[in-house]
Structure 1
C-alpha cells in the first residue's frame, strides 16, 4: 500500500506555508502543491528551497489569487474587475474559453520553474481541472511538462470516465484519490480506518496550516487547518501508518 499525503495550498499565506513545512519535517506530509497566484508564493518558494527533498507540484488556480496573464488574453476567466471569476463548483463544466485556461495555467507552471523549482505534479484549487471541458487542457499541460496528475472523476458519469481513461495512458497518477481527510474526520484514527488495498497507490489531500490573519479573513476552512497540522504531526498518526504497513511516498516515486 502506497500513500501520497499531499498538502494543497502551499503559497496561500505564511501560516499555511509554515504548517505544511512542519508537517513535512515533523510529520507525514511528503508532497505539496504550490499556488502560483498565492499571496505568499515567494515565501513558500524560499521555504521549499531550504527543504529540497519536499516534493513540489503546482496547485493550478482559476478562482483564487491574482491572475498571471494579460487580462486581454484571458478575458473569459475574469470578472469586471479583471479578477478571477467565481464558479458553480457543483457543476462539472464551466463557461470559459479552454485555450485561455491553457494560457493562464501554463504561466502558473512556468512561474514555479522560473523561480528555480522543479515541479513533479499538478492538481488544482477546488478541483477545477476535473471540469469536463477543462480536463483535456490539464492533460495537455501534464504531457508538455511531464507532470504527474490528480484524477478523481467523482462527478462524472460512467461513460465520461470510460472515454477519459485512454487519454491517461503514459501519465503518472495514484490509483485512487482520497478527499475524506477534511472537517470532522481529522483525527489520527482516520489512518486506522482507511480502507486501502495491497498493491495499490493512493493520494490523500490535506491542508495543514497555522492560523494567521489571511486565513481567518479569507477562508471559511480555517480552524480545521490547524487541527490538520496537529494531527499530521502527531506521533499516533505515524505509529498507525507504520503499524498498518503503509508506505508513504511522493509523486516522484510513483
Structure 2
C-alpha cells in the first residue's frame, strides 16, 4: 500500500512549521501543504528548501485569515478576513469567479517560491464542497497537479492524489496504532492527514487545535513503519 503522510497547515506559524519539519526529519511525515496566507510563509519556504525530500503542496485557504487578493469583496468581511469559516456548509456559496481568482492567486504565489508543487488540498476541506468542485477540477487540470481525495471527487479518480483520505489521526484519534488501522483498508493508496506542530503564541491566537499537535509530533517520530507500507 502506498501511504502518503501529509502535514497540513505548513507556514501557519513558526511553531507549526518547526513541528512539521521535525516530524519529517525524525519521523514518517513525507509531505506537507503550505498556506500562502500563513503567518510564517517565508520561514516555511526556507525550511522546505533545506529539506529536499519533503514534498510540498498547497493548502488552499478560504476559511482563515486574509486573502491574497484584496479586491474580491464577496469573500471577505469588513475587517478584511475571509468571511467563510469551518461552518461554511451552512453558508451560502461564494461567487465561483471570485474563488477561482483567489485560489489562482494562491497557486501563483506558491509558484513564485520556487518550490515544486506536489499536490493540492485545502483548509477545512473546502475544496471538496460540492459548489466549488468545478473550480478545483479546472485548476487541477490547468496546473497539472493532483488533489486530495474527497467523496465529492470520487468520480474524478484521474485528479485524486490517492484512493482514500484517512482523517482519523486527529484529536482523540492521535494514537500509535495508525498503521494497524490502515492495514484494514482495501485500497492501493491512502493519504493520512496529520497536523503536527509546536504551540506558540501565534497558534494560540489563531487555532483551536493546540497541544494535540505536539502529541502528533511525538508519535509521528516514534512510529515504526511496517514492511508492507510503501512510504512515499
Indicate whether the TM-score tops 0.5.
yes
- 1:97 pairs, out of 95, 98, 103, with 95
Paired position in structure 2 for 1:9:
9
Distance (Å, rounded) in 1 between the aligned partners of 2:90 and 2:128:
7
Listed as ranges, the gaps of 5+ residues in structure 2 are: none
Matched residues in 2 for 1:140 and 1:51: separation?
31
Secondary structure at the aligned position of 1:133 is classed as helix
Rate the CA distance shift 1:5–1:139 in 2: closer, same or farther, 3 A. same
What is the alpha-carbon distance in structure 2 between the residues aligned to residue 53 and residue 88 of structure 1?
31
Q: 1:94–1:131: 8 Å Cα contact kept in structure 2?
A: no
SS at match of 2:162: coil
Runs (4+) of structure 1 exceeding 4 A deviation are none
Give the superposition deviation at 1:93: 6.8
Superposed, which structure 2 residues align to 1:60-209 within 5 Å?
Answer: 60-71=60-71, 74-87=72-85, 89=87, 91=89, 94-153=92-151, 161=152, 165-166=154-155, 168=156, 170-197=158-185, 200-209=188-197
**1:25–1:198 Cα change, 3 Å:** same
Q: Using the TM superposition, give the Cα deviation of residue 94 of structure 1 relative to its aligned residue in structure 2, in angstroms.
A: 4.2
Question: Aligned ranges for residues 45-60 of structure 1 at < 5 Å?
Answer: 45-60=45-60
Q: Tell me how far 1:185 sits from its aligned partner.
A: 1.6
- Structure 1 stretch displaced more, 96-105 or 212-221: 212-221
Q: Deviations over 1:26-65 (max 9, x none)?
A: 1000010000010101110010111122111000001212
From 214, 223, 239, the equivalent of 2:202 is 214
Structure 1: how far apart are the matches of 2:211 and 2:114? 33
- Partner of 1:225 in structure 2? 213
Query: Are 1:12 and 1:39, in contact at CA under 8 Å, matched by a contact in 2?
Result: yes
Aligned residue for 2:19? 19
How far residue 120 of structure 1 moved from its aligned partner, in angstroms, is 1.4
Q: Please tell me the root mean square deviation across aligned C-alpha atoms, in Å.
A: 1.8
Count of residues in correspondence between the two structures? 232
Question: What is the CA–CA distance in structure 1 between the aligned matches of 2:100 and 2:88, rounded to whole Å?
Answer: 22
| SS of match in other structure, 1:22 | helix
DSSP-derived class of the 1:135 partner: helix
Quick one: structure 1 residues 54 and 125, their matched pair in 2 at CA, closer, same or farther if it must change by over 3 Å?
same
How far 1:198 sits from its partner (Å)?
A: 5.9
2-structure distance, mates of 1:180, 1:133:
25
Query: Helix, strand or coil: the match of 1:148?
Result: coil
1:22, 1:88 → 2: CA distance?
28
Q: 2:226 maps to which residue?
A: 242
> For residues 232 and 55 of structure 1, do their structure 2 counterparts lie closer, same or farther at Cα, with a shift above 3 Å needed?
same
Post-superposition shift, 1:196? 3.7
Mark the runs of 5 or more structure 1 residues left unpaired by the alignment: 154-160, 250-254
